[in-house]
Every structure is written in structure tokens, then in C-alpha cells.
Amino acid sequence: EKGSYAHYMLKEIDEQPIVIRRILEKYQGENEDILIDPNIRIGMNQADRIYIIAAGTSYHAGLVGKGYLEKLAGIPTEVHIASEFNYNMPLLSENPFFLFISQSGETADSRAVLVQIKRMGFPTMTITNVPGSTLSREADFTLPLYAGPEIAVASTKAYTAQLAVLALLAADIAIYKGLKLDFNFKQEMAIVANAIETLCDQKDRFRELSQEYFTNTRNAFFIGRSADYYVAMEGALKLKEISYIQAEGFAGGELKHGTIALIEDGTPVIALVTQNNVDGLIRGNVQEVVARGAHPMVISIEGQEEKGDTCTIPAVHEILSPLVSVVPLQLLAYYAALQRNCDVDKPRNLAKSVTVE
């Protein structure tokens, strides 16, 4: 039920703090440990490489998840688009572990890969919002997202739930391997939930920004580096799928290798600036597009903002910032679609779950 909300999408954006807290609760074991089937951590720890398979928004979550599995758990990880992997399979490592990420658990492209991988005899797990779905039943293991039903076609709370569960999984393996996390996972995730809440309380601001940037534009670019690049891709997908504005997410450093040719007077360029080691570089990229007439929107971290930045997100542990920085992009997309009289919850040509290859 959408209750007082005009659209499911806005309701689902607002539910994200609750979902994060619910995930922490559901996966909270006795004492401080994480409640995950021990066979999962054993299986993943035995793997020499993790292959993440997904589509769309879930693929974008996988890209962030790769960072968690490599940086926290120390396991080399590759991320693949399901429909590509299936017909152009890379050379596999000796002991791969396959991780399927799917909100619906019914995506045919991902299922086709799962069928093939099972035939090859490799271990498989599905991270899904629908336990009992096809991908969940057919994989060896399942980790539920506990996001509650996601009705809007554009995925929002499932994405943040996927990031939360991937971070939790990586933290669990790290602890199992005896690696030291440099932060208290539960505490930092609680800060993330609060940060999302703070942003959800600033809807008027994002409605105004959306009006200012997207009312009369044909296209828009989202840029970032490192993890911000992956969130930029997700922000672009949200905007294009519900507002039909042509939007692309780019790695900041790639702009000058071609895409910058598209920048004209007034072209919106949304830049995410949350990763310390590339802060100066992405700001440099913003200067480059501004010099060519772009209309920049810089989203940085509270306390680290520079003069002229458009808005900030509350400070959270750097590795978890994608869970927070995606929220302004979701809200911007929502209001852009609304202003353009688009059918927010049911965009044209799209289905909630894509059950054909």
C-alpha cells in the first residue's frame, strides 16, 4: 500500500533507512557476530575468485560489492552483465564461486548463467529480495535482502539493501579470515541509515534542484571516480528510465577521451565527490566541463565541501558512501520524472522483472 504517497517509488526511497536497520537486525547473531550460514563463508573463502552476475541496477550494486569483497574480505572479484557472460564467457579461475544478485530472483539472463554454471558444478549463491524465487531455489545458497516488496519499476531500496548485504557478507568473511576491519560495521551502518534519513528529509531541496537542472534538458551526465563512478552509472540509469532524459554515467577520467565533445552550454553534469583519494582529480574534471559551458552539480561530503558545491551528503565511512550518495540521485530522478509528467512507477517499455532473455 502506498498510503499517503503519490508513488511507490517515493515511498520506497523513504523506506531505505528502515530497510538498512532491518538487515542489521536480521543478520545480527548472538554477541557481535553476523548471522550467515557458515557454509557460505567457508565456500567463499575457499574460492580463488568470486564472479558476480547481474543485470541493470543489480549489476551496479555488484560493482560496488566487488570493492567490498576485495577491500574487506581480500578475495579477487569480477562483475559481469548476465546477458553478456552467458554467450561470451571469460576464462574462469580454478575455484570460482558464483554470486547472483537479483531483486526479483526471476531475471532470465541471470538464470541462464546459473543453469550453465550449475552444469559445470561450481558453487552458487543468490542475493535476492524474493526468497523462493527461481534464482533463489536453484542456487546452493540464498541471502535475503529483507527490503519488503518493491513495486516501482525503478529499483531503489533493493539497491541499497544489496549494498548493505554485500558489505555485511564481506565483513563476515573478513572476520572469519581473521582480517581486522578498521571500523565497527554495525555502528557505521547505523550512521548510514541516519544519513539516508537526513537526505530524505530534504526533498524540497532536491525537487528544486531537479527543476533547475532537468526541466529543459535533452541529456545529462553523471561523473565520478572509483566507487563514485559506479553510483554515477546508477544515477544515470534512474534518471533515464523514469524521465526519459538521455543520461550517461562516466568515469571522470574518461571524459576527455571522447565524451567531453558532447558538453554544450547548460548541459547538466552531476559530479559525485565522496572518495578522498580522487577528490582533486574529479574536481579537476568538473572544471574541465565548466570551461565548456556545463551546468555542474557537485555533490560532496558534509565537512569536506568546497565553496560552490551544490549540496552535501552527511559524512559516513568512506567505503559505505554509495549507500548514501545514491539517495540524492534517486530523488532527483523522481522529481524530474514528475515534472515531465512521466508515469513514475510504470515507465514506458519496462517491466519490473524481465523473464525473457
Residues classed as catalytic? 352
Q: How far apart are alpha carbons 12 and 277 in whole angstroms?
A: 32
- The H or E element that residue 298 is part of is strand 295-301
Nearest distance, CB of residue 151 and ligand F6R, angstroms: 11
Residue 116's nearest CA partner among 138, 131, 94 is 138
Closest chain position to ligand F6R (CB): 56
Of the candidate spans 96-104, 281-289, 292-300, 314-322, the one that interacts with ligand F6R by CB under 6 A turns out to be 96-104
CA dist 27 and 61 (Å) reads 19
Q: How far is CA 39 from the centre of its chain?
A: 26
- Cβ neighbour number for residue 182 with a 10 Å cutoff: 7
User: What is the rounded CA–CA span in Å between residue 134 and residue 355?
Assistant: 11
**For residues 110 and 136, which CB has a smaller minimum distance to ligand F6R in the complex?**
110
3-class secondary-structure state, position 60: helix
Q: How far is the CB of 101 from ligand F6R (least distance, A)?
A: 7
- Quick one: which segment of 103-111, 207-215, 270-278, 306-314 binds ligand F6R (CB under 6 A)? 103-111
Spatial contact of 316 and 324, defined as CB atoms under 8 Å apart: yes
Contacts of 257 (CB under 8 A, 6+ apart): none
| Cβ-based nearer residue to ligand F6R, 56 or 67 | 56
Rounded to the nearest whole angstrom, what is the least distance from the CB of residue 354 to ligand F6R in the complex?
5
The minimum distance between CB 59 and ligand F6R, in angstroms, equals 7
Do residues 51 and 97 lie in contact, with contact meaning Cβ atoms separated by under 8 Å? yes
Question: Does 103 participate in binding ligand F6R (rule CB under 6 A)?
Answer: yes
When asked if residue 160 is in the footprint of ligand F6R (CB under 6 A), the reply is no
Nearer residue to ligand F6R within complex by CB, 62 or 252? 62
Binding mask 104-143 for ligand F6R (x = CB under 6 A): x--x--x---------------------------------
Applying CB under 6 A, does 274 fall inside the site for ligand F6R?
no
Q: Quick one: which of 131, 85, 86 has its CA closest to 106?
A: 131
* Residue list 221-260, contact with ligand F6R (CB under 6 A): 237, 241
Record the cell numbers describing residue 118, joined without a space: 550449475
CA distance 23 to 162: 10
Q: Is the Cβ of residue 62 or residue 123 nearer to ligand F6R in the bound state?
A: 62
Counting residues that bind ligand F6R (by CB under 6 A) gives 15
Residue 102 beta carbon to ligand F6R: minimum distance, rounded to whole angstroms: 3
If the CB atoms of residues 115 and 179 are measured against ligand F6R, the closer one turns out to be: 115
Please give the sequence-ordered ranges of beta strands (E in DSSP) within 55-117, or none if there are none: 77-81, 96-102
Site for ligand F6R in 34-93 (CB under 6 A): 55-58
Strand order in the sheet with 141-144: 77-81, 49-54, 96-102, 124-128, 141-144
Residue whose CB is less far from ligand F6R, 107 or 226: 107
Nearer to ligand F6R, 147 or 191 (CB): 147
Taking the CA of residue 255 as centre, how many other CA atoms within 13 Å lie in the half-sphere pointing to its CB? 30
- Residue labelled with grid coordinates 565553496: 307
Rule CB under 6 A: choose which of 77, 86, 102, 243 binds ligand F6R: 102
Name which position in 134, 136, 155, 226 contacts ligand F6R (CB under 6 A): 155
Binding positions for ligand F6R, rule: CB under 6 A = 55-58, 102-104, 107, 110, 154-155, 237, 241, 353-354
